[in-house]
């Protein structure tokens, strides 16, 4: 199958996945779009939203539709790294009396991992996810264990309740391709949610893809061509978030402590590629980069005390930056 046919397959599969998710999830169209883009681009996501907005149900249903093994970890202050990665246990052979260690795999060994309320556990435990997110492997007991692809980490975070929480270190945040904001449903959507959830069991969903086809479609995304001016725009956008950069706007220097690193430029281009293919196009555009800029950049822009005192959020700064950043094709 050539790449053109794969583009058609991914676009059709995306529509089918959205249909199946819609059997259980009401609304949240932008959230679903960003989730699928990240999945095909092999990106991990951090979901930020108050409890009760079906974040867990969405991810569980996605794993069901894609025939992927799903595990959920409830992050708590007493959670240990070995509770995530696994641990060695000492066993004795009853026949010979010989003792040996056997590694018991933790819940991290799956295809889709939901790290629920990730900011409720200390940074030491949060860091247990770093190697798996970046390298698709886990080191425990001096041995390295490879994770079976596809492998995706979706974490949730409550933006309101801050008592007893541990803010994610910047290195951890940077591993997430997107920060996806999950908002309240509209009035009509909430009425439909109440009707569905109080009427009985959840409707069954149809399997759309299997792991083998997901891997084939994920491998397509890096092959999508990107014109030089689109790459230049993505790099320029990321660099303009850095207050010490020569081309940074004055209002960025006034409100930002640290801007996005090079991984942001990479994710902007990868997300643009995935969005293009999902929409049935085999070339990324500046419009794709502009659309993906907010979920890619908002958790990588660290605001300062001036921004906090003025009530300016990182998301607002990114939106303004996207509006004001021009491409070479925009210039007269």
Per-residue model confidence as pLDDT tens digits over 112-163: 999 999 988 888 888 888 888 988 888 877 788 889 899 999 999 887 766 6
- Is 99 among the domain residues? no
User: 185 vs 202, which has greater pLDDT?
Assistant: 185
What does the alpha-carbon distance between residue 283 and residue 125 come to, in Å, rounded to a whole number?
A: 40
Q: Please give the pLDDT value at position 164.
A: 61
- Mean of the pLDDT values across residues 291-299? 95
Tokens at 136, concatenated: 């698709």
Per-residue model confidence as pLDDT tens digits over 6-50: 888 899 999 999 999 998 999 889 999 999 999 999 999 999 988
pLDDT at residue 331 greater than cutoff 70: no
Q: Please give the pLDDT value at position 100.
A: 75
- Mean of the pLDDT values across residues 186-192? 92
pTM: 0.89
Q: Please give the pLDDT value at position 163.
A: 61
- Mean of the pLDDT values across residues 231-251? 91
Q: Are the C-beta atoms of residues 73 and 110 closer than 8 Å to each other?
A: no
What does the alpha-carbon distance between residue 306 and residue 304 come to, in Å, rounded to a whole number?
A: 5
114 and 200 together in one domain: yes
141 and 254 together in one domain: no
Q: Please give the pLDDT value at position 122.
A: 87
- C-alpha triplet 106, 170, 228: angle, nearest 5°: 105
Between the alpha carbon of residue 155 and those of residues 72, 88, 224, the distances in Å are 10, 26, 28
Say what percent of the chain tops pLDDT 70.
96
- Is 147 among the domain residues? yes
Place of tokens 């599969």: 13
With a CB cutoff of 8 Å and minimum separation 6, the contacts of 241 are 248, 252, 256, 259, 260, 264, 297, 300, 301, 317, 318, 321
What does the alpha-carbon distance between residue 153 and residue 108 come to, in Å, rounded to a whole number?
A: 9
Say what percent of the chain tops pLDDT 90.
53
172 and 66 together in one domain: yes
232 and 204 together in one domain: no
Cis peptide before 246 (omega within 30 of 0): no
Q: Please give the pLDDT value at position 196.
A: 87
38 and 152 together in one domain: yes
- Is 4 among the domain residues? yes
Range among 36-50, 119-133, 187-201, 244-258 with highest mean pLDDT value: 36-50
- Mean of the pLDDT values across residues 156-185? 84
CATH of the domain at 59: 3.40.50.300
Question: What's the chain's average pLDDT?
Answer: 89
23 and 156 together in one domain: yes
pLDDT at residue 65 greater than cutoff 90: yes
What does the alpha-carbon distance between residue 255 and residue 237 come to, in Å, rounded to a whole number?
A: 16
Structural domain ending residue among the three candidates 186, 215, 244 = 215
Note down the domain range covering 209.
Answer: 1-81+109-215
- Is 246 among the domain residues? yes
Structural domain ending residue among the three candidates 160, 181, 215 = 215
Radius of gyration of the chain from its Cα atoms, rounded to whole angstroms: 21
205 and 248 together in one domain: no
- Is 205 among the domain residues? yes
Q: Please give the pLDDT value at position 155.
A: 93
What does the alpha-carbon distance between residue 50 and residue 55 come to, in Å, rounded to a whole number?
A: 9
Q: Which of 150-154, 209-213, 279-283, 325-329 has the lowest average pLDDT?
A: 325-329
């Amino acid at each position: 199958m050539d790449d053109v046919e794969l583009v058609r397959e991914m676009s059709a599969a995306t529509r089918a996945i959205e249909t199946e998710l819609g059997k259980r999830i009401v609304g949240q169209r932008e959230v679903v779009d960003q989730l699928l883009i990240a999945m095909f681009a092999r990106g991990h996501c951090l979901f930020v939203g108050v409890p009760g907005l079906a974040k867990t149900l969405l991810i569980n249903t996605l794993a069901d539709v894609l025939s992927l093994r799903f595990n959920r970890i409830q992050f708590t202050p007493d959670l240990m790294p070995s509770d995530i990665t696994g641990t060695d246990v000492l066993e004795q052979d009853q026949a010979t009396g010989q003792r040996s260690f056997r590694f018991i795999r933790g819940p991290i060994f799956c295809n889709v991992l939901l790290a629920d309320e990730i900011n409720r556990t200390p940074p030491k435990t949060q860091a247990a996810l770093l190697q798996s997110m970046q390298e698709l492997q886990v080191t425990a007991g001096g041995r390295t264990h490879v994770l079976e692809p596809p492998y995706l980490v979706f974490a949730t975070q409550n933006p309101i309740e801050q008592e007893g929480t541990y803010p994610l270190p910047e290195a951890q945040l940077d591993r997430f391709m997107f920060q996806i904001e999950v908002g309240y449903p509209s009035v009509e959507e909430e009425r439909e949610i109440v009707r569905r959830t109080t009427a009985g069991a959840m409707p069954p969903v149809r399997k759309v893809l299997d792991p083998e086809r997901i891997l084939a479609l994920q491998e397509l995304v890096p092959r999508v061509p990107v014109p030089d001016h689109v790459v230049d725009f993505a790099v320029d956008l990321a660099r303009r978030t850095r207050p010490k950069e020569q081309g940074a706007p004055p209002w960025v220097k006034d409100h930002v402590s640290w801007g996005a690193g090079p991984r942001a430029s990479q994710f902007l281009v990868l997300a643009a590629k995935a969005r293009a293919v999902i929409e049935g196009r085999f070339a990324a555009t500046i419009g794709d980069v502009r659309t993906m800029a907010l979920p890619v950049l908002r958790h990588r822009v660290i605001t300062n005390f001036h921004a906090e005192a003025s009530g300016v959020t990182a998301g607002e700064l990114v939106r303004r930056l996207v509006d004001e950043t021009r491409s070479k094709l925009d210039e007269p």
